[in-house]
Amino acid sequence: MARVLRDRDAALYLAASSVSGFGTSALWLASGVWVKDLTGSNGLAALSVLALWLPTLLGPPLGTLADRGRRKPLLVALNLGPAALLPTVLAVGSPGRLWLLWTVLLLYGAAAVVADAAESALVAAAVAPELLGDFNGLRMTSDEGMKLLAPLAGAGVYAAWGGPAVALLDAATFGCAAGLYACVRVREEPPRQAGLPWRAQTAEGARFLWGHPALRPLVLAGGAALLLSGLGGPLVHAVVEGLGHSPAYTGTFYAAQGAGSIVVGLLAGPALRRLGERRFAAYGIVLTAVAVAAQSVASDPVTLVSAAAIGVGLPCVLIAALTAVQRETPDALLGRVTATAGTLMYAPTAVGLAAGAGLVGFVPYRALLVLLALARLAVLPLLRRPQRPASAARTAERSPSDASPA
């Protein structure tokens, strides 16, 4: 971790990610509250979150943009763009102008997808391969820390000055992030395949990911883990009710989960070096399964410990998959492969949330928790060591990414 923080470029990337993540988390909360105040509708408030999330479904074609030009100037532009765009929501003062807010949030989400792909590719070029796990873990720690702090700050700014003030705060964080990215020192060659049709480039990234024997199982395991996490999301309220607490107690649950994610981010680098990507992901899935099953016990201490354990276990497969993508993917493909992997892993969350909301009304939540725990264990066969040709196996001996789960 100290080596990562001493690396000037890695430290700049982490600082830029933290600053922009703070603004995004603050706006994520405030935008929903803003719409709720203007309309009184929970459904319309939820559209704010949907607008931010929806571009994730277009990850493969959006990620291709990160491979069609130099990535550092693209990252700077993708932060200056939202910084200039967000002040337009100052005109939203009535329900009739909410379309402007949702349009800005949709463009904001699309820029975030491209920026994540470009940043992943630049990090892989600027950070030593043996430190990628440490970097991705520290970024997870930073992101989760911002999710704990930023909503409180956003709520305070909103309560004092309203939604437009939160938008201006977010615009300022984007401007700061653009300046930090501009200070990164990295040499980039012009892309060789920039002239190929967009569809051909997008398909090339998807084919590489699906055909890679080490990346495909990690990404599929990540998607399955987040699908099951989405299925269990609505059960949190049932667990809190079963403990005899008010709905506000869910905040304590999520705080414990966030604390667990901060811890695993600090430990991810050494754990990946010792275990390899697949074993690290497998242990995280097993820990999450045990923690989910433990939530069926009607006990406050057990529930909070299990929430922290979920926070530790769930990110393991995501950190492992991203690190493997950065290590195994050629630089020319890295933007679109990263974005495709992100879509395959994160999009199932929405499907799980919708299905879980329906199931919780018909099946006792304790039984569902046990079933979801068992379903997580069924994901483990995906992480078995892939069969490779002899030449690929010799190459794999030099990389920890192919260690098999215990």
Residues in the chain: 406
Question: What span, in angstroms and rounded, lies between the C-alpha atoms of 354 and 342?
Answer: 19
Sequence spans of domains, the chain: 1-192, 196-406
DSSP assignment string, 143-177: HHHHHHHHHHHHHHHHHHH-HHHHHHHHHHHHHHH
- When pLDDT is averaged across residues 172-188 and rounded to a whole number, the result is 89
Phi first, then psi, for residue 190 (nearest 5°) are -60, 140
- When pLDDT is averaged across residues 368-381 and rounded to a whole number, the result is 93
Tens-place pLDDT, residues 358-370? 777 788 888 989 9
Q: Which of 329, 387, 333, 255 is nearest to 68 (CA)?
A: 333
Quick one: pLDDT band at residue 194, thresholds 50, 70, 90?
low
Tens-place pLDDT, residues 52-95? 888 888 889 998 888 888 889 999 999 999 999 999 999 888 88
Nearest-10 Cα torsion for 120, 121, 127, 132: 50
- pLDDT at site 294: 94
Range with lowest mean pLDDT among 58-67, 119-128, 191-200, 303-312: 191-200
Q: Averaging pLDDT over each range in 42-46, 169-173, 249-253, 346-350, which range is the top one?
A: 169-173
Quick one: pLDDT band at residue 397, thresholds 50, 70, 90?
very low
Model pTM above 0.85: no
Question: What span, in angstroms and rounded, lies between the C-alpha atoms of 225 and 284?
Answer: 10
Quick one: pLDDT band at residue 393, thresholds 50, 70, 90?
very low
Question: What span, in angstroms and rounded, lies between the C-alpha atoms of 203 and 208?
Answer: 9
Give domain 1-192's CATH architecture.
Answer: Up-down Bundle (1.20)
Question: What span, in angstroms and rounded, lies between the C-alpha atoms of 66 and 88?
Answer: 26
- pLDDT at site 193: 58
Quick one: pLDDT band at residue 195, thresholds 50, 70, 90?
low
Superfamily of domain 196-406: MFS general substrate transporter like domains (1.20.1250.20)
